[in-house]
Amino acid sequence: MKKTPTRLADGRELIYYDARDDAVRDTVDPRPLDSITTASEIRHDPLLGDDVVIASHRQTRTYHPPADECPLCPSREGRHTEIPEPDYDVVVFENRFPSLAGDSGRCEVVCFTPDHDASFADLTDAQAGLVLEVWTDRTAELSQLPAVEQVFCFENRGKEIGVTLGHPHGQIYAYPFTTPRTELMLRSLAAHRERTGGRNLFDDVLDSERSDGRRIVLEGEHWTAFVPHAAHWPYEVHLYPRRRVPDLTGLDDAARAEFPQVYLELLRRFDRIFGVGEPPTPYIAAWHQAPWGDWAGRGVERGEFALHLELFTIRRTSGKLKFLAGSESGMNVFINDVPPETAADRLREVASK
């Protein structure tokens, strides 16, 4: 992998990641862009104990442009985009409308492919492997920023999810705090360790799902994908490496080599859940990584956290979405219409032939 950092016209960092070592990336961004001004702040909720990001400047972000005006496609004659080059493998750049910036963290966009009409599931094994290397590199670099405590790599796919750009891409948020979801996991991890005399919660969950077998979707030599026993979403899959590591940088070569096959198969199954002729399945794919920072007082060590990916859709059946209504939004108590065992059965039924 060759990494070529450069700057856009307004000073934002852009990085080309190429599979070929002889790739040359020297095209200058010719756009007359003003410097980015952000208005984000982090406010603490004293009742719930969590943090909320207020980012009013994001109201003006680009919203569903036509394909020939997509800012994530390569530049071409007469049409300059966020990527100055006429082609690329994978590109990362600082978000023009970031939720987090400066002392409040950082937000990056990851363009998976120059093909506007593709999706992650259309990538080859080599392309998906390169994206994994990019996620890993960004995790390592962003974790070194003084303001950053946790790095979150994710992909939103589909208008139903709230995506405003159709080009296949993901994002990376570098938070200046540990997210509420992760704090809950860490508390459960510590409580389980105390209750069981030192056992690891993530290991026990994975062992339990593998022993039960009913919710296993697919298994490789180094990865296991399953629908969790208490799935929140209609179709939800958790993907774990067999060898526990706290973040993407800890994956060994064998796990990295196998990941594209397993993950691409999962995504392709998601697009077949609701049958032929259905529009692409909207989904969120989210990497959960251990935070950095001070671990004193947590009751566990950083190495006890288990890197894993959660993949889920808000579509519950053909033409119908799972809305977060009163119980979910008001009390954070999820009500799932699809039994996890039924979801796992369906995800096995639609396996590639």
pLDDT digits (tens, 9 = 90+) for 58-83: 776 776 788 889 999 999 998 999 99
**Mean pLDDT over residues 133-161, rounded?**
97
Closest of 31, 348, 179 to residue 14, by C-alpha? 31
Give the fold, CATH level 3, of 2-175.
HIT family, subunit A (3.30.428)
Rounded Cα distance, 221 and 163, in Å:
34
Rounded Cα distance, 83 and 86, in Å:
8
Per-residue pLDDT tens for 202-236? 999 999 999 999 999 999 999 999 999 999 999 99
Give the fold, CATH level 3, of 180-349.
HIT family, subunit A (3.30.428)
> Does pLDDT of 294 surpass 70?
yes
Q: Which of 44, 116, 169, 238 is catalytic?
A: 169
Task: Give CA 22 to chain center in angstroms.
Answer: 29
Domain with CATH 3.30.428.10 in the chain: 2-175, 180-349
pLDDT at 58: 79
pLDDT at 66: 87
**Mean pLDDT over residues 103-120, rounded?**
96
Q: Which two tokens stand for residue 73?
A: 């496609």
Whether the CB-CB separation of 47 and 125 falls below 8 Å is answered with no
**Mean pLDDT over residues 270-283, rounded?**
93
Catalytic status, residue 169: yes
**Mean pLDDT over residues 20-26, rounded?**
96
CA angle 209, 133, 215 (to 5 degrees): 15
**Mean pLDDT over residues 34-57, rounded?**
88
- Cα 330 to Cα 19, 301, 324: the distances in Å are 47, 33, 9
Rounded Cα distance, 251 and 259, in Å:
10
| pTM of the predicted model as reported, rounded to 2 decimal places | 0.96
Q: Please state which of the ranges 37-46, 79-88, 117-126, 321-330 shows the lowest mean pLDDT.
A: 37-46
